[in-house]
Amino acid sequence: MGFWGKFAKRVEDSFEHRVSISFARIKRDTINLFRWITWLRTRLEQLEAKHTALTQNNEHTHSKFYQNLEAIKQENQKLREHLKQLYDYIKVLHEEVKELHNDVHKSSTIDTQLDAQRYTPSTAETTTQVEEKLGGMFEPRVTVGIQGDKLTKAERLLLATLYHATSPLTYAEISKILGLSYGTIKNRLNRIKSKGFDVEFIVDSKGQRRFYLPETEKIKLSGR
């Protein structure tokens, strides 16, 4: 693994750790928030029950009525204070979500900087020019699969891209390098695998598939 590969792994590990901690905090605060809401709803129902009972009970004296009314006012004041605390709690939760968003943005920026270290051809370049800039990745002998099926030039170029990648590539990254649509990439990957080549993938934290050639496959390719 090269310098950028190690650095990218450290950045990814650090980012995943921060995201994990942030989501744990958000989960904790969300649970507390729902507890507040449940408690406040219960208190409000109790107050409404008191008010209804007070209104319907004509046997209460005028003095008792005002005593209960004052108690309700005090309860309402407490409720307002609790609502203010709830609002402050929501603000804290909002800041944590904002911090998590910033972490995701920073990670995306670092990924972009790392991607810039790789070669990315312009859309005006032909497949031949791309192949030349990638340095003639394979010797002519790598033309057939394990099953004996011939590899096309386009399939060899895609295989070479995976062979020389410093880290697993998404459809988007392969598309940038080769100028192909996602559907074309998917079809060529399937054809390459059907010819006996071991192309694997992992799913990253964003749910994207990242394709790569295992080291054992690279060793086999180097010896063909």
Poorest-confidence range of 7-21, 131-145, 153-167, 179-193?
A: 131-145
Question: 115, 136, 159 — which closes off a domain?
Answer: 115
Average pLDDT over residues 52-68: 70
Average pLDDT over residues 91-118: 57
Domain count within the chain: 2
Global pTM value: 0.39
**pLDDT reported for residue 86:** 79
**Residues 94, 22 share a domain:** yes
Average pLDDT of the chain?
A: 73
Asked whether residue 120 is domain-assigned, the answer is: no
Structural domain including 199 reads 127-223
**Tokens 């180097």 belong to which residue?**
222
**Residues 154, 103 share a domain:** no
**Residues 108, 179 share a domain:** no
Cβ neighbours for 66, distance < 8 A, ≥ 6 positions apart = none
**C-alpha span between 170 and 167 (Å, rounded):** 10
Average pLDDT over residues 90-108: 65
Asked whether residue 97 is domain-assigned, the answer is: yes
**pLDDT reported for residue 117:** 41
Poorest-confidence range of 77-81, 147-151, 152-156, 203-207?
A: 147-151
Question: 65, 85, 115 — which closes off a domain?
Answer: 115
Gyration radius of the chain over CA positions: 31
| Per-residue b or e along 193-224, where b marks 16 or more CB atoms closer than 10 Å to that residue's CB | eebebebeeeeeeeeeebbbbeeebeeebeee
**Residues 148, 47 share a domain:** no
Evaluate if residue 53 carries a pLDDT over 80. no
For 64-74, write each residue's pLDDT tens digit.
777 777 888 88
Question: 83, 115, 147 — which closes off a domain?
Answer: 115
Class of residue 191 by CB neighbours under 10 A (exposed 0-12, middle 13-18, buried 19+) = middle
**pLDDT reported for residue 187:** 92
**Residues 61, 154 share a domain:** no
Average pLDDT over residues 105-126: 45
**Residues 81, 44 share a domain:** yes
